[in-house]
Structure 1
Amino acid sequence: MSVWDEVVGQQPTVELLQRAVASARGDGSGMTHAWLFTGPPGSGRSVAARAFAAALECEQPEAGCGVCHSCRTVLGGTHADVSTLSTEGVVITAQQARDMLPLAARRPSVGRWRVVIVEDADRLNDSSGNALLKAIEEPTARTVWLLCAPSSDDVLVTIRSRCRSVALRTPPPDAVAELLVRRDGVDPSMAAFAARAAQSHIGMARRLALDEDARIRRRDVVRVLLQLRGVGESVLHAARLLATATAEAEAGTGSRDEHEKADLLRALGADPTARTHPPYVRTQLRDLEKQQKRRATRFVRDMVDRSLIDLLSVYRDVLVLHADPGADLVNGEMRPDLERLARALSPEQLLHRMDAVREARDRIGANVNALLALEAMAVQLRLDA
């Protein structure tokens, strides 16, 4: 067993980090105080960062054993010297960043290092980024910052210039499938399907492998492209696409919201069955509801973006069919439909439609109303265009 077991398909990165850990225990020449983990969604950026933190804190001579108390607590998120800054909203706020600074300034209490993991460094805005900048630029001795983002361009230039970059790649589908079989006990054929359909996104592959409803929702999304005929029907399907993403988000957050509310009422000594609560309880509940609303907004946006990536996979498959009719496809179960789409659309038309999907992703990322962005996209994707 090792802390690196779930860092899938990233052997060059693992070797780089292992050398840094060895250096940290020696002369320190290969160690630095700030690291930026970049890679496409699902590549395991935060998994690699946490594995690195565990190896730094490991109690054994063979750093990263995965079984000592330090390794287990870091991987479990309970180590006293390893803190995580993340957000369930659209951005990391300046207050969240400032709250982390006193903790990052402390010397390690039980381990070798004080480690701060910023899981969503791309969600730092100017205010929160500037709040962290001084600490990252001039960290306390024995403090290490591990930032995660899709790409270095997504991080404020003042911060990324002070970090050592670690680039992760999209893992091979076979490696993702093997992880699902080994870690989650998934049937090998289902694991292979999930890894392929998720395009090697590890978290999404696990969800597809274990949740039939998620598989049905994905099937409905990718088949939309076969049904877009006419402006009216395209607008209707855009609304359905957003509704599907919203349902996916609710499935992922609904039960969690209820548990959080029940836990809060229990902690406050309030009766969960009561119709009204004292003012101090109502205040706490309002704060919780605001936090849950921010999380839901972000999750819906993430699910819409994932749906658009799935749409791009369909056009990618059709382009591949133009070049090699016998090639393996992401959506192999749809091959007959995709072959018909290849006969209906030229490569130039396919590229135009892929640009429309990417433009919708950019607009939604820029906080344009999701439904309007999806409607504009769907009109451009219709088969009679």
Structure 2
Amino acid sequence: MNDLDLWAAVVGQPGATDLLRSAAAAPVHAYMFVGPPGTGRLEAARAFAGTLFAGGAGSGDAADRHRRLAAAGQHPDLVMIVPTGRALLVAEIATIIREGSRSPIEAAHKVIVVDRFETAEPAAAAGLLKAIEEPPASTVFILLAEEVPEEHSTVASRCVRVDFPPLPDDVVATALVDDSVDRDLAAVLAEAAGGRLDRARLLATDPAFLGRRDAWRSVPDRLDGTGAVVAVLVAELQSLIDDSQKPLATRHEAEMKALTEREEELGTRGSGRRDLVERQRREVRRLRDDELRFGLATLSRCYLNRAASEGRSEGLDATGRVTAAAGELDRNPNEALLLQSLFLDLPRAV
């Protein structure tokens, strides 16, 4: 794999890729990639690592091998730390410190990527601060974060920040067309993906997506103010969200099969099975959250369009209630109760 192919995986982030490709010639000890998942953060971390690894190998097959392994997340000097729960804990910081103190195995550098840094507990952030302030010369830290909470600003100040904003819809749509998705469908999927290419690609494999969108669009015309109708609507939508996991489940099965084959060939030690299982669980949780946010955004647009076309204030009021409900998702509520409460508070169909 050459350098051009390595960085081609980072779509729609020219500012970030230009900065990192230049920085690889003389890397500092810590970077922070800030932005939503699915905007190229992880791909950029792997590409940056691959560039660092290849830089010490000259040109030819050895450099290509470094890039290929890094791009696949399988290089022995690329260490991925992902919180096993909802927060980055002190125990996981101990793993980061231990890995950071070890010498590289094959390359001139070791790269440690810490995912979901924004979830770090205060004590964990303090431990990580010490690690990145006093790193071995061969170690480079890359912290991935959706945002930088104020309490983590000291750690952030020790890192070079690289922003990965949500991708524009036209960039996502073009990437889908390049993947052989129909152009009209690609535009719809891009709008639904919220600037995340990973979600757009997952939706592209889901033939039921348009049906789910239409189900959310039908809600305003079905509400009659009764709890019975609300219960039916919520049950239908939850069933559709359950079904939306099928494409992800198919991908997870393929990943597990590939891992099992590698274990049969190379053994189970260091295979990463536990990390894979935990990542897949997080992806399932994230998918449900994404589907709810997509549905509520669709519903909000319906009421906003009605307010614009009919000139009635209740459409704007309904949009505000839907937006407030979407904000509650950050608190991990019971989704059925959240939807039932919202639907009972929305206008009846005229």
TM-score with structure 1 setting the length: 0.72
Could you tell me which residue of structure 1 aligns to residue 330 of structure 2?
Answer: 365
CA distance in 1, matches of 2:282, 2:76: 31
| The one of 122, 131, 135 aligned to 2:131 | 135
Change (3 A) 1:294 1:12: closer
- For the pair 1:111 / 2:107, whether they are aligned, the reply is yes
The answer to whether the Cα contact below 8 Å between 1:74 and 1:82 also exists between their aligned partners in 2 is yes
- For the pair 1:311 / 2:300, whether they are aligned, the reply is no
CA distance in 1, matches of 2:193, 2:116: 21
CA distance in 2, matches of 1:293, 1:60: 33
* Unpaired segments ≥5 residues, structure 2: 265-272
Could you tell me which residue of structure 1 aligns to residue 70 of structure 2?
Answer: 74
- For the pair 1:47 / 2:43, whether they are aligned, the reply is yes
| The one of 217, 220, 233 aligned to 2:215 | 220
Could you tell me which residue of structure 2 aligns to residue 211 of structure 1?
Answer: 206
Could you tell me which residue of structure 1 aligns to residue 54 of structure 2?
Answer: 58
Residue identity matched to 2:333: V
The answer to whether the Cα contact below 8 Å between 2:300 and 2:323 also exists between their aligned partners in 1 is no
1:333-372 → structure 2 map (5 Å cutoff): 338=305, 340=306, 342-344=308-310, 346=312, 349-372=314-337
1:1-385 → structure 2 map (5 Å cutoff): 1-22=4-25, 24=26, 31-59=27-55, 68-87=64-83, 89-153=85-149, 156-182=152-178, 184-232=179-227, 233-249=229-245, 252-253=248-249, 256=252, 296=281, 299-300=284-285, 302-316=287-301, 319=304, 338=305, 340=306, 342-344=308-310, 346=312, 349-383=314-348
Change (3 A) 1:136 1:119: same
CA distance in 2, matches of 1:234, 1:33: 54
Residue identity matched to 1:3: L
Q: CA-to-partner distance for each residue in 1:278-297, whole Å, 9 max, x for gaps?
A: xxxxxxxxx98xx9699647
Measured on the aligned residues, the alpha-carbon RMSD in Å equals 3.9
Percent identity of the aligned residues? 30
Q: CA-to-partner distance for each residue in 1:107-165, whole Å, 9 max, x for gaps?
A: 22222321111222233333543443321232221211111122223873343232222
Change (3 A) 1:198 1:128: same
CA distance in 2, matches of 1:161, 1:128: 16
* Unpaired segments ≥5 residues, structure 1: 25-30, 269-286, 320-337
CA displacement at 1:33 relative to structure 2: 1.5
CA displacement at 1:81 relative to structure 2: 0.8
The answer to whether the Cα contact below 8 Å between 2:100 and 2:139 also exists between their aligned partners in 1 is yes
Q: CA-to-partner distance for each residue in 1:65-102, whole Å, 9 max, x for gaps?
A: 9x811111100111111111124643344433323331
1:146 partner SS: strand
The answer to whether the Cα contact below 8 Å between 2:303 and 2:316 also exists between their aligned partners in 1 is no
Of 198-207 and 73-82, the range deviating more from structure 2: 198-207
1:32 partner SS: coil
CA displacement at 1:235 relative to structure 2: 4.5
The answer to whether the Cα contact below 8 Å between 1:176 and 1:202 also exists between their aligned partners in 2 is yes
CA displacement at 1:201 relative to structure 2: 1.8
CA displacement at 1:262 relative to structure 2: 12
1:58 partner SS: helix
The answer to whether the Cα contact below 8 Å between 1:37 and 1:146 also exists between their aligned partners in 2 is yes
CA distance in 1, matches of 2:248, 2:78: 27
1:212 partner SS: coil
CA displacement at 1:209 relative to structure 2: 1.6
1:48 partner SS: helix
CA distance in 1, matches of 2:285, 2:86: 11
The answer to whether the Cα contact below 8 Å between 2:172 and 2:195 also exists between their aligned partners in 1 is yes
CA displacement at 1:61 relative to structure 2: 9.5
The answer to whether the Cα contact below 8 Å between 2:30 and 2:159 also exists between their aligned partners in 1 is yes
